[in-house]
Amino acid sequence: MSGADTAPAAVVFGCAGLSLTPDEISLFRDCEPAGLILFSRNIDTPDQVRRLTDVFREISGNGRILILIDQEGGRVQRLRPPHWPEYPPMRLFGEMAASDRDEAAACVALNYRLIAADLVTLGINVNCAPVLDLPVEGSHEIIGDRAFSDDSALVSTLGQAVCDGLLRGGILPVIKHIPGHGRAFADSHQELPRVDTPVGELRRTDFAPFLDLAGAPAGMTAHIVYSAIDPTCPGSSSRRIVNDTIRDEIGFDGLLFSDDICMKALSGSLSERVASVLDAGCDLALHCDGNFEDMVSIAETCPPLRPDSAARLDSAVELIGDSAEFDRNAAKRRISAFLGGG
Catalytic residue among 259, 260, 283, 287: 259
Element spanning 176, H or E: strand 175-178
Indicate if 145 belongs to the active site. Answer: no
Q: What whole-number distance in Å separates Cα of residue 21 and Cα of residue 42?
A: 12
Indicate if 187 belongs to the active site. Answer: no
Residue 229 has what DSSP assignment? T
Amino acid at 291: N
Question: Taking CA 41 as the corner, what is the angle to CA 115 and CA 88, rounded to the nearest 5 degrees?
Answer: 30
Task: Give yes or no for a contact between 289 and 14, defined as CB atoms under 8 angstroms apart.
Answer: yes
Q: What whole-number distance in Å separates Cα of residue 245 and Cα of residue 318?
A: 26
Instruction: Reply yes or no: is the peptide bond before residue 22 cis, omega within 30 of 0.
Output: no
Query: How many C-beta atoms lie closer than 10 Å to residue 65's C-beta?
Result: 23
> Could you give the residue ranges of the DSSP H alpha helices within 77-198?
90-96, 101-121, 152-168
Catalytic residue among 189, 244, 289, 294: 189
Task: Give yes or no for a contact between 216 and 173, defined as CB atoms under 8 angstroms apart.
Answer: yes
The residues that are catalytic are 189, 259
